[in-house]
Structure 1
Amino acid sequence: FRNFVKKHQLTHSMSRVGKCIDNGPMENFWGIIKEEMYRLKTYTSFEELTHDIKRYIDFYNTRRVTLKMGLSIPA
């Protein structure tokens, strides 16, 4: 893993053992993408899955309605 990070000039983020705060945002994102994008969908190729993930990330970053954008949650 360290060799991969170094080879691709990535910044490895990791907190102390037992402190999983670095994982929280990504775990949340993958939970959302699983529920909103490909729940109950079957993919026949890795390319099809990759395409849908890229398309969903674009949607998530640019068009997905959030509370900050005025989404109201029914009481």
Structure 2
Amino acid sequence: MSRKGYSPDNSACGGFFGRLKSEFFYHRDWSGVTVESFMELLDEYIRFYNERRKKQSLGWMSPMQYRISKGLAA
């Protein structure tokens, strides 16, 4: 998120947080989960989202597969 009222950033962030809630948060029973445990699970989801989750916009590759295919990562 960069500056106030910058629509492209706001929509990208809104899209991510909406997906986070629908894929990670809403379908679970969080009763009895500690804050530390929640933070670990959230970290795992964000790593999955950034590295392994297949995306249509990348030709159904994960971000890491896409970067490797473009020579941007080893």
Mind listing any 5+ residue stretches in structure 1 that lack a counterpart?
1-11
Mind listing any 5+ residue stretches in structure 2 that lack a counterpart?
62-74
Root mean square deviation of aligned Cα: 2.2
TM, length-normalised to structure 2: 0.61
The runs of 4+ residues in structure 1 deviating greater than 4 Å are none
Residues 17-41 of structure 1 show CA distances to partners (whole Å, capped at 9, x for unaligned) of 5x54332111111111111112231
TM, length-normalised to structure 1: 0.61
The structure 1 residue matched to 2:13, chosen from 10, 26, 41, is 26
| Residue in 1 that maps onto 2:67 | none
* Number of aligned positions between the proteins: 58
- Percent of aligned positions with the same letter in both sequences? 26
Structure (1 or 2) with the larger CA radius of gyration: 1
